[in-house]
Structure 1
Amino acid sequence: MATSIYFPQRANGFAEKPRTANGLPMHSSAVREKWQRHYHSSSWLVPISLPIPGVQTRRLRLMLPNLLKLHHSTIARFGRRRGRIFLAVGFLAAVLTVVMMFSLRDRFVPEDRSWPTYQEPSTLVYRREDLQRIWEWEVAAGHYPSAQKIPENIGLTTPPINPALPPRKSSSIPNRFRPPSVTNTVGIGAKRVYLDIQAKPPNVAYPTTADARQRRGYGRGHGPLRLLTEQAVQYVRDCLEVLRLGGGLDNGARVRRGKMDEWKYIYVEDGELQNSTQIAAPQINTALALKSQGVADPNAAFVKKRNADWEPHVYFPAPQKYIAHHDRPEACDENPHLFHMFWTGPFTDKPYLALLSFLYTQNLGLHLDPEHLDPTVCRPQFWLWINPGPAASVPNPTAMRDMFEQLKSNPWASPFLHPRFKDVIQFKLWNTTEQLDGVPELKDEWRVLRDALFNSGGVVEKIPQPADSSSEEGDGSTSKSEEDDKVNRVGSKSPSSYDRLSVILSDMARFVLCHRFGGIYLDADTILLRDWEELWGWKGAFAYRWSRLERYNTAVLKLNKGSALGTFLFRTALKNGLDFHPMTVSRYTKDAALEPLLLRLPDALFDSAWLNTEDYQRERPPQPYFTEFGDFFFTPREKSAAPQALGFNGFFRGAYSYHFHNFWFPFDPTRNWPDLGPRFINGERIARAQADASVTEHSEFPEDLVADDKRDLDWSVVLKRTFEAYIRGEIPNMYGEWIKW
């Protein structure tokens, strides 16, 4: 070989590198010299490719110094010994330079210096004095049953009296050591008794019997959420376990051993309210709080929205006196349990399944005769608000009648018009003008923003003007783009026909409905998984966390009717373009130091799969394990044994709901119709006729064969068929109660 001729081999098989005594290379031929000179790259920089976490198709390309080139050049110039010494000295000099720079920074730069960073523009339009009034009103109304600290920059000098918090022993701190502002409230509420909810034989229905459910506060008052906001539970899996054990969802199947007081989060109020005059000193005028401290700017630490005027001083009427549940004559007088949902377009299997899950999981008394219902028990109601036309249209005078005619003829909606459900499910007509006029904070000014009403995250969706007759085609028909533009679009049926205007309208509708009527708003892509009585017992407002970010997701939103917090949100939104996008709402509360008043719950309570779908917590996922939201409709083959084997009980057990993030796939493709038995057979005939052209509304159904069903049933199929079996009377609900027709 050529290599053996020109390049002498070492005993180990590598080519020799002969050198003279002075370190210069010695070449036996021109070929040897040419190979030696081009053996190393001549570039001073070499490319390095690194993988990007979470991105499999691209790599990060970096240019780094060519150490081999540097070493070769140094040896060639200074010799082997002196060259290596030179490299070592250069490396030490670079290290010492970096260390010296950090030392000088720590010595001469103050620790409290704030380095310039990008900040979103402020949305604040309320002065500190008005923010203090909002805090004091919400606390006095019993809407802050939490020991979480009030932000210091609110500047309160006297702790507000809190009727929703039991008294606590506080350490006496000398005046000279006290902070300049008060961050705590003085609890005067009834004592809290945390419950260990377990069923006893023979009443061991999953998860509790009706009697046990009434002990959980129906007519007595309770709330959760000492929970997870105060306990550092990192993983969704662990969060769901706390929810299961503390809520008694593991009756008859508890395998966890040991004392579980730390995991109890459901409580009842026991005893009377304390005498506030014996607990706290009289309050002073909070408007003078900062003047007494000698602060020149009364709004220090608060940044006003640019080019906006301060809102006029806000004054609230005295809040209703807080009354513990056991003293209230009627359970629903002050705090009606209303679920709100907004829907646009034809009624489909999406709101159908949401309503079925409501009937299956909530304490509606459907297992009792109507005359035997307990008047002290507040039965939840589900108000489904329907926008019959496009978001930008105005309903016609016959919209209400037309809506019910469409519901009666729709196979997915007609079962819920049955008289048995008339007290728990109500269909409401949405009228944007009427609803905005019903909000006192908006009614006199919202029309100024009518042309920019559809605002999402600061991006305004302009409403295109109607096309004139000259734009029509010669045959009198309009083009496809005109038929399917965003003004005429009604509802989202697929990603390609996304109804953005209706989605933006729903962002605003949830705040309007909760502020006007009270209650909890749910996105239409939500399935209820357990009784929400613990959440109704929490008198404060809440939403939940946007995945890993410290922002709100308002797919679940609870606000108190006519609250000071609601006034703040609407007036602030009005000065910010009526933008109710969740990210923008997060800025409203953060800029005003009101975040604790709108509690941000962990997403595990309502959206347990979210972190996994974004590549987080996959080392300890919950059950079921979804790597994307589509797994709910198309369960991966290697995991497809779980839905049938575990059923409803194995689906994020412990969570209050599941949010499938607006996927348009049918829940049960092989039986894509309401399967509710002979009582609702007419609707099933219509749906089956629409699904199969060979079947008419009056023909007999072909015999159902198990061989025609899908071999591996997905999670969406299992949940739909479980809810439908309850309506057919084949199984009880999740609390062991059989529906009584």
Structure 2
Amino acid sequence: MSPYDEDGLPTYSSAISEKIYLESRTSKGYWTPRPPSIRLYLTNPRRLTKLTSTRITRRKSWLLFLVTITASLCFFYLFDFPSLRRDKYPRSARDWPGISVGFTKEVDESASSTLVFEREEIQRIWQWEIESGHFPSNGKVPEQVGLSTAPLNPALPPRRVPTIPSRFRPPPGPVATTTRGDGPKRVYYGPQFKEGEVAYPPRPVPGGIADLDVIMQHCDFELDKYVRDCLEVLRVGAGLNNGRGLRRAPTDEWNYVYLHAGRENFTEPASEIPIAKVIASASSESTPDQRAPSNNNNPHTNPNAGFVKKKDAPWEPALVLSDPAQASREGSVAEEASAVVETIEMDGACDPENPHVFHMFWTGPFTDKPYASILSFLFTQNLGLHLPAGAAEVAGVCRPQYWIWINPEHFERFRSPAAARAAMLESLETNPWSAPFLDGRFRDAIKFKMWNTTEQLDSIPEIKDDWRAYSGSLLNSGGHIIDVAPGGANANANNADEAAGAGAGAKAKSEEYDKGSVVLSDMARFVLCHRFGGIYVDADTLFLRDWSELFHTRHAFAYRWSRLDKYNTAVLRLNRRSALGSWLFRTAFRNNLDFHPMTVTQYAKDAYLDALLRMLPDALFDSAWLNTEEFQRDRPPQPYFVAFDNFFHTPASASAQPQALGFEGFFRGAYSYHFHNSWFKPFDVSRNWPDLGARFVAGERAARQAADPDTPPAEWADRVADDKRDLDWATVVKRTFEAYVRGERPNAYGEWLAW
């Protein structure tokens, strides 16, 4: 109602009413602050009343009201951030304590779960791995496992006794999530240079162990660590800067290699890091487990509460495990019963439980890709090739071996394993890319072995009696099944070999992606590591430094799938005949023998065993991956690849770097480089043949003739004008490795090859 009558005279009943009206006129909008000191804006009823009564009709006012309500609902819907809340809160009401399931829609989680082991067996696996020294980490045991007491951990040094009085300590929780160190004290050390020898980096100290907890602090993608910074820490801690470091402050906090106390054999005094400090620093930045904790671990009510079993699958019986102290050394009970005893011939400095063996799986004709990988192995690993042939062992050094597993083509035409192996050796001897590695000088380092799927699967006690049930579906990766056995269950292993072999042969001719051999290799890497121990590496992997410090850590590991929280098993380490491996094979058997790395990730997470198969940062083995997926391009490492193809075809803007920086400028600090397939792109466009000098000239001539059949050998001549002007990174690293074999330069650690 207007405060004025028809003649324009005020109708105030008092001075107070007039004052209120005049003050309200100072608010020109539809919101008024109440009170001014807080400036909380509230609706101005007078203005809204005036608006609806004088300027807008009643119908229009209702329309405005509906529009306002609709806009408000849209605002709250859009900005409720459901996508960000999805991983923070549980998926179903049964994960919320105190909330009735009746108010929410029930979700069938068993439809996607892969879990086939009960909590008691998961606890047993954790206990076995810890007692075996396979968990040298301050990481947490998941609460869902439900350990009642903290187990003794022989791979960790003892913690210092807390000085806080007991009455001030928090009460113990219902389950244990930590382990109690019961092992030798650790002594961390930096690079060990000898006086006057800084032209090349030093070899790792014998027995040195990489602390993966420290590496994770500086390299973990989840902690927003850059690959560039990680590589600096890795090379400084290993002395790969060759005394050319530019940091003036002490870098002791970057020391990630340690020895057990009592084994110090340094050329310089070692620095000791207080154990309490190491434990605190290693655990303070660990990523907490985001999975919903179990609300009921009481075995008297429900022993598997919180565990979601695979749908329509029975609980697996208890695994047959040997005593942890004798694990892998004497074989499992099931293995002894079947009279299948593995023997691994290594030198006396090697631990039979932890053999320093690399595995590669290859199908089809030998090419420049496995050739380059083997050369990089000879160039970087501590093989003693600088010593005369037959020289005595180096004290404390376990010389690694590279086992090349060949899946031969046309497997069914061989009537006996001996005939198949003879044919395999003949093909290797006549192939110029593989023939050099049959030389007697490399006999103790490079070993070619024949892959037989039937024999290999029959050697795995956990599945040897069951795997034939998968007739026609033995090659399964991520649910993609390649039909290999139309003739029956007993033939499917041989057909798998044939399918992969024939596929690789077709690949070499038609450049088609061979899915069969890739899927078979997904399974083969787990078979080889579980059966023999060691580390599997993909054939498209180049070694960049000595791996002995990784071998000495007993932690099983793979590495991260770029930005995703998934495994990439292009590098895989499993302990021989471990409880973790036994669990994995039984779980895979109940899930269609699927060994795709992302499926293995789900296995581990569903069973709360992912901390036992550690996910290392991809910076250690695959430093370019994040950049190729448009991550961390603001501070990339050296070299800077926006695509994996840059390794074989370096962009013109960066084409001066390979020749100027050489091998030492290629992801310095990383353990390896994974170039991700590119099977048909030659390492060296101008010289696409093995170039190893006069000792192996016969193979070079054969490869040259195949590469350039139109030019007669009499006209072969090496001219600079015929070479590519700007050499690519792939060409530089290949020629560097070949120069070492030719005797024109030392290896990565300054050691000359002695013939």
Question: Residues of 1 paired with 2:156 and 2:234: CA distance?
Answer: 22
Q: Is the counterpart of residue 201 in structure 1 residue 195 in structure 2?
A: yes
Question: Residues of 2 paired with 1:350 and 1:103: CA distance?
Answer: 51
> SS at the partner of 2:113?
coil
| Residue of structure 1 in register with 2:664 after alignment | 649
Q: How does 1:385-400 map to 2 (within 5 A)?
A: 385-389=405-409, 397=417, 398-400=419-421
Q: Is the counterpart of residue 151 in structure 1 residue 142 in structure 2?
A: yes
Q: 2:644–2:676: 8 Å Cα contact kept in structure 1?
A: yes
> SS at the partner of 2:716?
coil
The 1:496/1:413 distance shift into structure 2, 3 A limit, reads closer
Please report how far the alpha carbon of residue 393 of structure 1 lies from its aligned counterpart in structure 2 after TM superposition. Answer: 8.6
Question: Residues of 2 paired with 1:99 and 1:668: CA distance?
Answer: 59
Residue of 698, 703, 711 corresponding to 1:687: 703
Residue of 253, 256, 265 corresponding to 2:256: 265
The 1:166/1:113 distance shift into structure 2, 3 A limit, reads closer
Query: 1:302 is aligned with what amino acid?
Result: F
Please report how far the alpha carbon of residue 294 of structure 1 lies from its aligned counterpart in structure 2 after TM superposition. Answer: 6.3
Identify which range, 156-165 or 306-315, moves more after superposition: 306-315
Please report how far the alpha carbon of residue 159 of structure 1 lies from its aligned counterpart in structure 2 after TM superposition. Answer: 1.1
Q: Is the counterpart of residue 169 in structure 1 residue 160 in structure 2?
A: yes
Question: Residues of 2 paired with 1:487 and 1:723: CA distance?
Answer: 29
Please report how far the alpha carbon of residue 501 of structure 1 lies from its aligned counterpart in structure 2 after TM superposition. Answer: 1.1
Please report how far the alpha carbon of residue 430 of structure 1 lies from its aligned counterpart in structure 2 after TM superposition. Answer: 0.4
Question: Residues of 1 paired with 2:685 and 2:549: CA distance?
Answer: 35
Question: Residues of 1 paired with 2:366 and 2:598: CA distance?
Answer: 29
| Alignment RMSD (CA, Å) | 3.3
| Residue of structure 2 in register with 1:307 after alignment | 312
Query: 1:507 is aligned with what amino acid?
Result: D
Deviations 1:155-212 (A, max 9, x none): 001111111111113656778732210011111111111111142431113222xxxx
Question: Residues of 2 paired with 1:314 and 1:404: CA distance?
Answer: 39
Please report how far the alpha carbon of residue 81 of structure 1 lies from its aligned counterpart in structure 2 after TM superposition. Answer: 12
Question: Residues of 1 paired with 2:241 and 2:629: CA distance?
Answer: 29
Residue of 295, 298, 302 corresponding to 2:303: 298
Q: 1:395–1:431: 8 Å Cα contact kept in structure 2?
A: no
The 1:353/1:112 distance shift into structure 2, 3 A limit, reads closer
Please report how far the alpha carbon of residue 620 of structure 1 lies from its aligned counterpart in structure 2 after TM superposition. Answer: 1.1
Please report how far the alpha carbon of residue 247 of structure 1 lies from its aligned counterpart in structure 2 after TM superposition. Answer: 1.4
Residue of 319, 322, 326 corresponding to 2:324: 319
The 1:418/1:700 distance shift into structure 2, 3 A limit, reads farther
Please report how far the alpha carbon of residue 395 of structure 1 lies from its aligned counterpart in structure 2 after TM superposition. Answer: 7.3
Q: 1:390–1:489: 8 Å Cα contact kept in structure 2?
A: no
| Residue of structure 2 in register with 1:223 after alignment | 210
Question: Residues of 2 paired with 1:199 and 1:180: CA distance?
Answer: 50
Query: 2:448 is aligned with what amino acid?
Result: F
Q: 1:392–1:487: 8 Å Cα contact kept in structure 2?
A: no
Q: 2:500–2:517: 8 Å Cα contact kept in structure 1?
A: no
Question: Residues of 2 paired with 1:241 and 1:104: CA distance?
Answer: 41
| Residue of structure 1 in register with 2:376 after alignment | 357
Please report how far the alpha carbon of residue 703 of structure 1 lies from its aligned counterpart in structure 2 after TM superposition. Answer: 2.1
Question: Residues of 1 paired with 2:563 and 2:407: CA distance?
Answer: 33
Deviations 1:581-624 (A, max 9, x none): 00110011000000000000000000111111111111111111
Q: Is the counterpart of residue 425 in structure 1 residue 439 in structure 2?
A: no
The 1:432/1:668 distance shift into structure 2, 3 A limit, reads same
> SS at the partner of 1:452?
coil
Q: How does 1:589-668 map to 2 (within 5 A)?
A: 589-664=604-679, 665-668=681-684
The 1:690/1:292 distance shift into structure 2, 3 A limit, reads closer
Residue of 600, 603, 617 corresponding to 1:588: 603
The 1:80/1:668 distance shift into structure 2, 3 A limit, reads farther
% same residue: 54
Deviations 1:119-163 (A, max 9, x none): 671111101000011000000000000010000010001111111
> SS at the partner of 2:504?
coil
Question: Residues of 2 paired with 1:239 and 1:550: CA distance?
Answer: 18
| Residue of structure 2 in register with 1:182 after alignment | 176
Question: Residues of 1 paired with 2:296 and 2:306: CA distance?
Answer: 15
Please report how far the alpha carbon of residue 376 of structure 1 lies from its aligned counterpart in structure 2 after TM superposition. Answer: 3.1
Q: 2:319–2:582: 8 Å Cα contact kept in structure 1?
A: no
Residue of 397, 402, 415 corresponding to 1:382: 402
> SS at the partner of 1:255?
coil
> SS at the partner of 1:229?
helix
Question: Residues of 2 paired with 1:389 and 1:101: CA distance?
Answer: 60
Query: 1:222 is aligned with what amino acid?
Result: I
Question: Residues of 1 paired with 2:194 and 2:57: CA distance?
Answer: 85
TM-score, L = length of structure 2: 0.76
Question: Residues of 1 paired with 2:503 and 2:327: CA distance?
Answer: 46
The 1:692/1:260 distance shift into structure 2, 3 A limit, reads same
Question: Residues of 1 paired with 2:54 and 2:645: CA distance?
Answer: 65
| Residue of structure 2 in register with 1:32 after alignment | none
TM-score, L = length of structure 1: 0.77
Query: 2:214 is aligned with what amino acid?
Result: L
| Residue of structure 1 in register with 2:366 after alignment | 347
The 1:198/1:94 distance shift into structure 2, 3 A limit, reads farther
Q: 2:136–2:155: 8 Å Cα contact kept in structure 1?
A: yes
Q: Is the counterpart of residue 441 in structure 1 residue 432 in structure 2?
A: no
Question: Residues of 1 paired with 2:79 and 2:642: CA distance?
Answer: 46
Question: Residues of 2 paired with 1:506 and 1:245: CA distance?
Answer: 35
Identify which range, 352-361 or 375-384, moves more after superposition: 375-384
Please report how far the alpha carbon of residue 557 of structure 1 lies from its aligned counterpart in structure 2 after TM superposition. Answer: 0.2
Question: Residues of 1 paired with 2:370 and 2:90: CA distance?
Answer: 53
Q: Which runs of 5+ in 2 are unaligned?
A: 1-50, 83-87, 93-104, 264-293, 329-346, 488-497
Residue of 222, 225, 229 corresponding to 1:238: 229
| Residue of structure 1 in register with 2:386 after alignment | 367
Number of positions where the alignment pairs a residue of Structure 1 with one of Structure 2: 616
Question: Residues of 1 paired with 2:402 and 2:688: CA distance?
Answer: 24
Query: 1:430 is aligned with what amino acid?
Result: W
Deviations 1:205-231 (A, max 9, x none): 3222xxxx2xx342x342231234244
Question: Residues of 2 paired with 1:332 and 1:595: CA distance?
Answer: 26
The 1:425/1:576 distance shift into structure 2, 3 A limit, reads same
The 1:296/1:631 distance shift into structure 2, 3 A limit, reads same
Deviations 1:338-382 (A, max 9, x none): 000000000100000000000001011101122233253100000
Question: Residues of 2 paired with 1:339 and 1:733: CA distance?
Answer: 19
Residue of 699, 717, 738 corresponding to 2:731: 717
Please report how far the alpha carbon of residue 102 of structure 1 lies from its aligned counterpart in structure 2 after TM superposition. Answer: 11
